Amino acid sequence: MRPATVLLPAALAASSAAAQGVRILQTNDDGWAESYLREMHSSLLAAGHDALVSGPAENQSGTSSRDAEPEPRTEPCQFDSCAANSGPVGSNATDPRLNWVNSFPVTSLKFGFDTFAPQVWGPGAVPDLVVTGPNIGSNLWLQVPFSGTIGAAAESVKNHGVPALAFSGLTATHNRWDVSPVPLESTLYAQLATKLTNAVIASGTPYLPEGVFLSTNFPKVSSSRCSKVDDFKFVLTRINPFGFSGPDAPHCGGDTSLPTETEVVLNPTGCFVSVSVADASDKTTAPADKQAVVIEKLGDFFTCM
């Protein structure tokens, strides 16, 4: 069934119009019933994408790339979103697009590929793109290797050959899926993530170079500042400080030293979103030749600082 029509902010509506709907597999490390993940799901559906969730049954933050066979639950899932003794995996009773796995984010993603995608999309069907998060809290520099949200994105690229986008938000609020009213940050992060997702899709296949994913961090939001999509500008960044790897691909007037995502996201003078091209093999900044492909595809999407 097609989702109901939803009125989108002008910037988001414009980007969705340029992006053809695709199959998107979602997961996170904060739990399948968290507001950030569910708002992202709604935003992707509203943009015309065929989105499917396969997330951990409960908060699995900081679990990196851990993977373990899911075990039967003896207690209810996060926020009482599934009953006790519900087994090792399950689905929402009224929506088969919403699924949980009693294990880690990487395991949840694997079940999305192997179990839930064929059930919803048909035998042999695979996603065109994987989207992880938005994570509750940032994933910057030294946080990156420990993040389950990042780990799942790397898993998709390395072991499934499907491009991935990982999203994280500095405003860290934990809310259940049906919180009312929906917090500003949940809605705004979902809209911003969908804007970038649409831009990547509109750039054409292959969406990203082989072996990389995009790691995106959103700054803090508030009702008085950085409160709507058009307030934000996306900046191409690197994960680790310059000197740990480099030089970067020429960008912004030929500069071969991109700003770090930390200095961009924490910049007090604007509402800047960092977008780093990440190497799926080690979760650090991707080589310059991979960055160059992303710049060629998405260069006009980025703002130079």
What is the fold of 10-301?
Answer: Stationary-phase Survival Protein Sure Homolog; Chain: A, (3.40.1210)
Cα separation values, 294 from 110, 111, 290, Å? 26, 29, 7
Q: Which residues contact 1 (CB under 8 A, 6 or more apart)?
A: none
Domain ranges across the chain: 10-301
Q: Single out the residue of 41, 35, 9 nearest to residue 169, CA to CA.
A: 35
Q: Supply the DSSP string of 228-270, one letter for each residue.
A: SGGG-EEEEEBSSPTTSS-PPPPBTTTB--PPBHHHHHT-TTS
Q: Which amino acid is at 162?
A: V
256 vs 247: CA distance, rounded Å: 6
SS3 38: helix
Nearest to 27 by CA among 159, 126, 115, 135: 135
Helix segments in the chain, DSSP class H: 10-17, 35-46, 105-111, 117-121, 148-160, 184-202, 261-265, 288-298
List the pLDDT tens digit at each of the 305 positions of the chain. Answer: 223 323 344 444 444 444 579 999 999 999 999 999 999 999 999 999 999 999 999 999 999 999 999 999 999 999 999 999 999 999 999 999 999 999 999 999 999 999 999 999 999 999 999 999 999 999 999 999 999 999 999 999 999 999 999 999 999 999 999 999 999 999 999 999 999 999 999 999 999 999 999 999 999 998 888 999 999 999 999 999 977 777 999 999 999 999 999 999 999 989 999 999 999 999 999 999 999 999 999 999 999 98
Structure tokens at 131: 């989207």
